Amino acid sequence: MNDELSQIVAKLRADYAEQLPATFTKMENLWRGLAAEELPVSGVVELTRMAHSITGAGTTFGLPAVSRAARDLELFLDPFSASGRLPSGAERETVSVLLVALRQSAALP
């Protein structure tokens, strides 16, 4: 990789890391709306998609812990996304925990 490309990659990594907290906030707000049943169930698909996107991009931008945490959330949400059903009871608790873990993962190596 030449110097110019290395600089571009470094800047993209920094930009990606910088926007992550805002993305986490979006996901948390979306989940709050879903858990309160104020948003349509289709929001689960969007939440899964957002997790999937971070799964794919995190490690590429030097954040493997974020990728792993996002994958955990994505794998948990996948069946709900496919069936169009909202998590209920303990399942909702799990989603909340996974979202907290996702946010915390940004501080991990």
Partner 1 sequence: MAGKQHRVILDDDVFALTPKAQHELRGSATSLAPAALEVLVLIDGVSTVAETAARARTIEKDTVVNILGNLLYDGLIAFSKDQAASLDFVDFFEAKSPIKPSVAATAKAKKESAATTQLLQQQGYVVRIARRAGAGKTTGPAHTPCVLVVEDESHLATLLKHVLANEGFDVRLAKNRGEIIAELRRSPRPDLVLLDVTLPDADGFEVLQRIRQHPVLQGMSVVMLTAKATRDAVLKGLAGGADGYITKPFEIEVLVKAVNVVLGLVEGGRMVEAEKDPWLAMGKPPK
Cα gap 96→103, rounded to integer Å: 11
User: Quick one: how far is CA 83 from the chain centroid?
Assistant: 20
The contact pattern for partner 1, residues 23-52, with x = CB under 8 A and - = no contact, is --------------------------x--x
Indicate whether 8 belongs to the interface with partner 1 (CB under 8 A): yes
If DSSP codes are grouped into helix, strand and coil, which group holds residue 36? coil
> Site for partner 1 (CB under 8 A): which residue of 29, 42, 60, 104?
60
Indicate whether 106 belongs to the interface with partner 1 (CB under 8 A): no
Stretch that binds partner 1, among 13-21, 29-37, 85-93, 96-104 (CB under 8 A): 13-21
Cα distances from 16 to residues 13, 19, 53, 70, in angstroms, run 5, 5, 12, 15
Nearer to partner 1, 8 or 100 (CB): 8
Residues 65-104 within binding reach of partner 1 (CB under 8 A): 67, 71
State the burial class of residue 48 (Cβ atoms within 10 Å of its Cβ: 0-12, 13-18, 19+): buried
